[in-house]
Amino acid sequence: MNATRGIEAIVFDLDGTLVDSRGDLAAAVDAVRAGLGLPPLAPGAIESMVGEGARLLVERALGGERRKSVLDPAIDEFFRHYDRLCLATTRPYPGVEPALATLAAQCPLAVLTNKPERFAVRIVEALGLGRYVATVVGGDSLAVRKPDPATLRHVASSLGVEVHRILMVGDSRIDAEAAAQAGSLFVHVRWGYGRNQAAEEVGALGGLDDPERMAEQLTGLLAERRVASAGAI
């Protein structure tokens, strides 16, 4: 990895990075559980289940292998409930929208999430974030999803940049591994759902602690990388 390379685009995870969607995800999952005669999840339990796509989310919420026989219809029910609930309480973290506005003036931005594309696009657009983002790639947009490096290569191609000049910003080990496998850079946000997944062990440049300082910190990183890249031999 060339530590002096410049950054030409930033790719953000969605849930737990740009938006807090815990309440709506938990509500949809609890509606599925209620239909099966199960009690609601414990408060905060949804956080450890998010990040690897809807199927795994529902499977984890129903107890994994124990409920394989009901998994497919449960996923259909989850989508039905989430379609109704996905914007009930989901909001950008404080400071995210102005951060994207600042960063979009400096380089192309994209969203790469394992959430189904139709929900990701709907949330990004409804919350006013779409004006800053060049593309949104969801968990079903391609034949693979994060951490497969093909996801970041696809985003790089759509933005017209080389994948090793992308900075991935996310809250989980899934994001970190996608960046590492693609040869991209990575910054870990510590306010999201993956804070206990040791994401920074996978080649992170560093961590962000406050979404309201994200623009300032990432702008500084962009400037540092441009200076370092210009001075590289």
Examine the pLDDT at 117 and tell me if it is beyond 90: yes
Lowest mean pLDDT among 31-35, 138-142, 153-157, 192-196: 192-196
Local confidence band at 1 (pLDDT 50, 70, 90 cut-offs): very low
Q: Is 171 noted as a catalytic residue in this protein?
A: no
How confident is the prediction for the chain on average, in pLDDT? 88
**Is the pTM above the cut of 0.85?**
yes
Share of the chain above pLDDT 70, in %: 88
Task: Give strand ranges (E) for the chain.
Answer: 9-12, 19-20, 91-92, 109-112, 135-137, 166-170, 185-189, 206-208
Q: For every residue of 187-216, which 3-state class applies, written as one string?
A: EEECCCCCCCCCHHHCCCCEEECCHHHHHH
Burial of residue 230, with CB atoms counted within 10 A of its CB: 0-12 exposed, 13-18 middle, 19 or more buried: exposed
Vertex 192: Cα angle to 187 and 198 (nearest 5): 60
**Is pLDDT larger for residue 35 or for residue 110?**
110
Res 201: pLDDT = 54
Peptide bond into 94 cis (omega under 30): no
Lowest mean pLDDT among 15-29, 86-100, 141-155, 212-226: 212-226
Res 3: pLDDT = 42
Res 70: pLDDT = 80
Dihedral of the CA atoms 173, 80, 121, 45 (nearest 10)?
A: -30
- Nearest 5°: phi and psi at 125? -70, -45
**Of these residues, 13, 24, 171, 175, which one is catalytic?**
13
Task: Give strand ranges (E) for 115-164.
Answer: 135-137
**Is pLDDT larger for residue 32 or for residue 1?**
32
